[in-house]
Chain A
Amino acid sequence: MLPLTPIFAEASLIKMSGLDIAIVAIYFLAVLAIGWYLKGRTSTGEDFFLAGRSMTAWVAGLSFLAANLGALELMGWAASAYEYGILAAHWYWIGAIPAMVFLGLVMMPFYYISKTHSVPGYLQLRFGEPTRAVGAICFAFMTVLMSGINMFAMAAVMRVVLGWNLHFSIWVSSITVAIYVGLGGLTSAIFNEVLQFFLIWLGALVIPILGLTEAGGWAGLKAQIIANLTNGDSYLHMWSTLDSFRHNPMGIQWTGIVFGLGFVISFGYWTTDFLVVQRVITSKDLRSAQLAPIIGAFFKMAVPLIVILPGLIGLGVFNHHGMQLVSATDAKPGQYTYNDVLPLLLVRYAGPGLLGLGVTALIAGFMSGMAGNVSAFATVWTYDIYRPLIRPLMRHRPAPVASRTETPGGPVTGNAVELAAEDKHYLAMGRWSTVIGVLVSIGTAYLAMQFSSIMDYVQALFSFFVAPLFGTILLGMLWKRATPAGGFWGLLAGTISSIGMWAWVKVQPSALAIIALSHSAKPMAQDMYQALWSWCICVIVTVVISLMSRPLPDDRLRGLVYGCTEIPHSRDLPWYQRPFFWGMLALVLLVILNVIFW
């Protein structure tokens, strides 16, 4: 039984007024109302799992970004900016924009034309059932675990920032998410994510505006940081200090940023993590699906304004007033940590009303990430695990599917009545798996409460899978010679090698110097080089085994692979409607920003 502790008993950074509490309460009512409103409009599996494939480019694009813009992301990267300076912006620029543009222009046509409902679904179409099973089980398992870990981490933040009881935060937020996703499915999750996107921006903007006003503009802030810190100038440059691991606060070198972060990690996450890709494949047509991640890219470029800039403002303004934040491991009782920088700035600048908006932004960020995890889990569980692996055992024959085959032997057809009954069954399964996904997440959150080290393990486990998966899907889309055997063994070899490198460094920390190719490398570099090597291993194994095995015929690859797929061109459209134009513009802006902050 849970201990009966008061909800608002503990000391907190933020004291909310009645107006602030009203703003937070209205937010909860609004998201529940949206779920209730959309319930009557979600009557088929396609509605529930794919939002009826009816989203415009703007809605899909903002939702694509909001699913990633969680509260831990906001607070975590503001803390990283306080600790490492402007280098943290690499995760928003080179670590995201090229991958988003690549998803829109190169990969989305294959996801969209193949009519897959998920990334594991694409693996099945391209490489067969075993590869889908590996992808789907890993993804579903990791997604609910990550959701629970984030839930616990966020509840811990709410306890420090708002003084909320841990159990109260976990149960209220997760029940709210379960209700609105369970009622309205992916449409409800997407609608709420777009709403949350607006709230996050409007709630967080007060900090950069008033922070820069106090610091005397960007020039004043830079002068404060240079005056406050030893080597303060290295906190203000993105590339000029990356020639060596020793010349920047992050202990990283440009090869890790360009190849590890900019290529493998970011492309792996943004192009193959179903949590974000699911938002885009709900688009109403191919052009919208291509534009959605590119629209997301423009907003992603601006996110450092509400995440990285506040970290820098803390570095300038707090230190200028003699207040220094410390790392969580070095903090003594009563000392503030890097993670507190965003809430501390909120308290510093936001009075009643704006404070409520800021807190709502944090809660909205938390819930959008959780809803993303839960809705993606429900789809993968229902379509990629339950339907192909469990349902046939219950029916003693394969389940009928109406659309393109997702079984190697060809389509399993059924009559209209049977198909409608199956669809209703999967819709019910989707609703139940949403609730079960939330309950498993809550269980994981309590597990993390008991064993804090589990958080590091789960986050590491998630990263094991993403880089090799990107290798498998990239070869699957661009190289028609890749075979099912090559795809399966490549994915497995990449994932196992990633786990192996992680375990090696865990047992023998000096191994980091070998993996990151330098004795000066810090733990941040490990993720990047580990991802890079596991991707290389996946690609090499896939290529070698594919060349040793029998290729698939071209007609089996139609709609799945470059060279076997007719991709509709947009040459007839005016230039300003072409995804290619906007994708290139995003890349040009990315280059300009990097040159400005070189």
Chain B
Amino acid sequence: MSEQKSAPIWLFIGLLLLVYGVLCLIGGIAQFSHPPATVLADKHATFWGGIVLTLIGGGYTLAYWPRK
């Protein structure tokens, strides 16, 4: 870039996935008491998906957070 150094794309990806992960995790926990009307709802895919997204997003955010 011409003037300033950009934050890496991986940081943006990490932040967005972290937000999505936390949202899915909250939704997934709520679905333990109010399961959705989907096939295989007993597998709690939203909860596990939330954990995976939080881990990936958190990992990327930590690894690419700008340091001095």
Interface residues of A (CB under 8 A from B): 19, 22-23, 26-27, 30, 34, 37-38, 40-44, 47, 52, 54, 59, 187, 190-191, 194-195, 198-199, 202, 206, 209-210, 213-214, 347-354, 357
Contact = CB atoms under 8 A, between A and B. Distances in A.
Nearest to A317: B39
Contacts of B38: 347-351
B31 to A, nearest CB: 6
B12 interface: yes
Given A41-B3, A43-B3, A351-B45, A30 B36 contact: no
Contacts of A352: 27, 31, 36, 46
23 contacts: A30-B16, A37-B6, A42-B1, A190-B9, A191-B9, A191-B12, A194-B13, A195-B13, A199-B16, A202-B52, A206-B49, A210-B45, A214-B39, A347-B38, A349-B40, A350-B46, A351-B27, A351-B35, A351-B41, A351-B46, A354-B24, A354-B45, A357-B24
Interface string B21-62: 001100110010001101111010110011011001000000
A194 B9 contact: yes
Which residue among A27, A37, A349, A351 has the maximum number of chain B CB atoms within 10 Å of its CB? A351
Interface residues of B, number: 32
B34 to A, nearest CB: 9
A23 B39 CA distance: 22
Contact of B20 (A54, A213, A350, A357): A357
A55 to B, nearest CB: 9
Given A19-B23, A210-B40, A214-B39, A52 B2 contact: yes
A200 to B, nearest CB: 12
A195 B49 contact: no
A279 to B, nearest CB: 13
Contact of A195 (B9, B24, B52, B56): B9
B12 A349 contact: no
A195 B7 CA distance: 14
A310 B58 CA distance: 29
Contacts of A198: 13, 17
B16 to A, nearest CB: 5
A347 B38 CA distance: 7
Contact of A41 (B1, B20, B40, B49): B1
Nearest to B50: A353
